[in-house]
Amino acid sequence: MEGYIKLYRQVMMWEWYDDANTFRLFIHLLLKANYEDAQWRGLKIKRGQLFTSIGHLSHELKISDKAIRIALDKLIKTKEVASKGASNGTMITICKYDSYQSTFNTEGQTEGQTRGERGATNNKNNNNKELKNIDLSFLQKDFIPLVEKWLLYKKEKKQEYKGETSINTFCKKLVEYSNGDAIIAEAIIEQSIANNWTGIFELKNNNNGNKKRNRLDADAQWRAEMEASIARDYAALHE
């Protein structure tokens, strides 16, 4: 098969994103669905539909029939897909296929939008140049983007630090409050920005840091499962 599908980063906020089987099945259905109406053995399959079976999906994804049924039921329950059985298979419809795979041409933006985006890009480039002039090489690699984010926040509030000494003091405080953990440090930064504070403080509780760490661990596990599954599929195709 040729071509591609659109996958927006907003999918990371989807309720089934961390459910490996359900997420994988949905992406597979997006990839397999027709991008235009077609006929197959006298059956009309519309854009956003595919004709398949539980057994076929199980074979393609190397997931048990039971796991496919459970994942499909979840997608049907939340109205991501609709399913209609037939004697020789199942017609699956992606309910919001046109929203996911819109053919809207973004080249038709207005001149005002283009100017605004160009101005925002120039400002961002200027900010990046200024940050590059600040020596943060003494920090752990994971801490550098967090400090840069905080410095931009302080600049927007017109509360910039007067020199590198004050920046270094801030960095040491961030490392101290987070015990050298970048996940906790990020939660500390986000806590202050969300509350519009002028400085940083230790977390009142470490739930935010723990949640971020658990999410990262879950994402890493999901990626590992996906890579292993792709490797199995590839090996099966070349047996």
- Output Rg (C-alpha) for the chain, integer angstroms: 24
Work out the pLDDT band at 212, boundaries 50, 70, 90.
low
What are the CA-CA distances from residue 14 to residues 8, 41, 123, 182, 239 (Å)?
11, 36, 32, 25, 36
Higher pLDDT, 137 or 238: 137
Higher pLDDT, 31 or 133: 31
Higher pLDDT, 101 or 214: 101
Read off the pLDDT of each residue in 56-64 and give the average, rounded to a whole number: 93
Where are the domains positioned within the chain? 9-102, 132-239
Distance CA 143, CA 173 (A): 12
Beta bridge partners of 43: 40
pTM score above 0.95 = no
Distance CA 11, CA 80 (A): 13
Please determine, for residue 58, whether its predicted confidence score (pLDDT) is greater than 90.
yes
Distance CA 154, CA 131 (A): 12
- What is the third-level CATH fold of 9-102? Arc Repressor Mutant, subunit A (1.10.10)
Work out the pLDDT band at 49, boundaries 50, 70, 90.
very high
Work out the pLDDT band at 60, boundaries 50, 70, 90.
very high
Read off the pLDDT of each residue in 74-99 and give the average, rounded to a whole number: 89
- Position 7: which residue type? L
Cβ neighbours of residue 34 under 8 Å, at least 6 residues apart? 45, 46, 47, 48, 49, 50
The stretches of the chain forming alpha helices (DSSP H) are 20-32, 54-61, 65-77, 97-100, 111-132, 144-156, 164-178, 182-194, 207-237
| Run of H or E including 83 | strand 81-86
Helix (H, G, I), strand (E, B) or coil at 85: strand
pLDDT digits (tens, 9 = 90+) for 102-136: 654 444 444 444 445 555 455 555 555 555 567 78
Please determine, for residue 22, whether its predicted confidence score (pLDDT) is greater than 80.
yes
